[in-house]
Amino acid sequence: MRPFLVITALMCEATPLIEAWGLRPLRASEVEERFQLFYGDGIYLGVSGIGKMRSAVATSALLTHLLGQDLTPIAVTIGIAGAPHGLAELGELILVHKVRDISTNSRLYPDILLKHSLKELSLDTHDHPVTTPPTEQALVDMECSGFMQAATTLVAPSEVAVLKVISDNCDGTRVSPEEVSKLIRSVSDSITKIITSLRAELSPPSRLNADDTETLHRVVSHARLSVTQRIELERAMLATRARGEDLPCSFHEILTRPIQNKDQRRIAFTALLETLQGKELP
């Protein structure tokens, strides 16, 4: 089953999940030392801190670290959000289907393939706390656009999810850390069900065999491919195997080419994808 990377902004959001899932502190590398990180049963939980920039940095660093270990994580952010009166109930668990960054007006969309019973709503990420009810009918937070921008750069939108628990009505009410933990704890069973269902839905029935994995490692190293390029190449190799085809002999020829700059890397990457599609390696 595929691993999960769960990002929360606050430790009080993380604590109920750490307890529910039996996670333990993880300090195994320089990257992991930079963040509060916990692990158990294929779930990595990182605490980013408040704000979209911190969320983006933590998400990018930890996803890249996991992908570099040949893991293919599903990325989820979980935390509290405000909601205008009438949009959602306090304590309600929401699955977000659109994220808008208020300062840039950019929009990002998780690709929700999972069947579920949760309410789906849009969310606006603000740079400052929202203390006056907004006119838009959307949830509000300060992290989600940063998480989405980082996560969808490294994994597919169908492998990203945003879960929010309603904590206030955007009216300036202060919610204590203890109240935040209580809110998350009250829906932890529902969160666990969503996580379990996502893992089952998105875990592929098979992966590359040992020989193909070794070939992928050699090609990625030689061609100096980026993390994103490695993911796309692996998917193309899996698609080739799913069609019942072997990797073309010309695929290995890339290992004989000198690759010393970005242009050569780009040309090599394009050639690798094309040969997997049945075209001759140029």
> Is 281 within the bounds of a domain?
no
| pTM score | 0.74
pLDDT at 206 over 60: no
- Pair 194, 224 in one domain: no
- Pair 196, 242 in one domain: no
Buried b (16+ CB within 10 A) or exposed e, 70-90: eebbbbbbbbbbbbbeebbee
- Pair 25, 164 in one domain: yes
Lowest mean pLDDT among 5-14, 17-26, 259-268: 259-268
Domain enclosing residue 175, as ranges: 4-202
- pLDDT, average across residues 9-33: 90
- Pair 123, 236 in one domain: no
Choosing from 162, 184, 202, the residue where a domain stops is 202
- Pair 194, 247 in one domain: no
Q: 231-244, pLDDT tens digit by residue? A: 788 878 887 887 78
Burial class (CB within 10 angstroms; exposed 0-12, middle 13-18, buried 19+) of 156? middle
Lowest mean pLDDT among 13-17, 159-163, 194-198, 200-204: 200-204
Partnered with residue 44 across adjacent β-strands are 5, 39
Instruction: State how many domains the chain has.
Output: 2
Q: Which residue has the tokens 């009918």?
A: 137
Eight-class DSSP state of 156: -
Choosing from 202, 237, 266, the residue where a domain stops is 202
Choosing from 202, 231, 256, the residue where a domain stops is 202
> Is 23 within the bounds of a domain?
yes
Q: 260-273, pLDDT tens digit by residue? A: 888 888 888 888 88
| The pLDDT value given to residue 281 | 47
Q: 143-164, pLDDT tens digit by residue? A: 999 999 999 999 989 899 999 9
pLDDT above 70 coverage of the chain, percent: 95
> Is 32 within the bounds of a domain?
yes
> Is 282 within the bounds of a domain?
no
Average pLDDT of the residues of the chain: 90
- Pair 182, 250 in one domain: no
- Pair 217, 126 in one domain: no
- Pair 37, 149 in one domain: yes
Q: In which band, very low, low, confident or very high, does the pLDDT at 61 lie, cut at 50, 70 and 90?
A: very high
- Pair 241, 177 in one domain: no
Q: In which band, very low, low, confident or very high, does the pLDDT at 204 lie, cut at 50, 70 and 90?
A: low
- Pair 184, 268 in one domain: no
- Give me the CATH number covering residue 61: 3.40.50.1580
- Pair 263, 215 in one domain: yes
Distances (CA, A) of 249 to 41, 64, 155, 216, 240: 39, 30, 29, 14, 13
pLDDT at 75 over 70: yes
